[in-house]
Structure 1
């Protein structure tokens, strides 16, 4: 698929993932301009601002005022973001038990062992 400029078009969500990757690699909050310069290709500044604004609306990034613009920071790392997505799916299901049962039944043996170990550790903290 090609965009208007003749370049390859990104898959849905790919640009958000690239922006998040830049934020995860940053040592602190970064401006939209910094994000733009760290991304591959030639994205318009307004495109980067739009993506950052959408991520902020989703609660995935925070922003703080720096002069007349904002600096952005990811709320979670990659694992935290994946866990947040999984919780969101569960929160939207009327029968959480069935969803969790299906999820667990589809795990590989190694993933099942990891989950059991995590549950044992969590149980010991209560």
Structure 2
């Protein structure tokens, strides 16, 4: 492997707003635009590799493919977000209908069927 470093400019076309943001970050970090961009790209690449390694390790332990493991994790997160939801905003008409349903007598057959069904998250 060649251990010499070739110094060259990396030309990247970027919208003015992004270039300005990069230049500002480079100035704060005390780096050139090129060094700043290379460091940021390397950090992102390392994060992606670490994330993938972590996911692959978790999938292996769970005995699943990476895809199945990620789908399960996404579903678990969605369930967590939905189950933790405590505020529901509805218009007056829907709220009144909801109150009517709560106040209505219980249909025992329908209730028993509902309680006998497996929950989607089980």
TM-score, normalising length: structure 1: 0.26
TM-score (norm 2): 0.26
Greater per-residue helix proportion: 2
User: Which of these two proteins has the greater Rg computed from alpha carbons?
Assistant: 2
The structure, 1 or 2, with the larger RCO (C-alpha pairs under 8 Å, 6+ apart) is 1
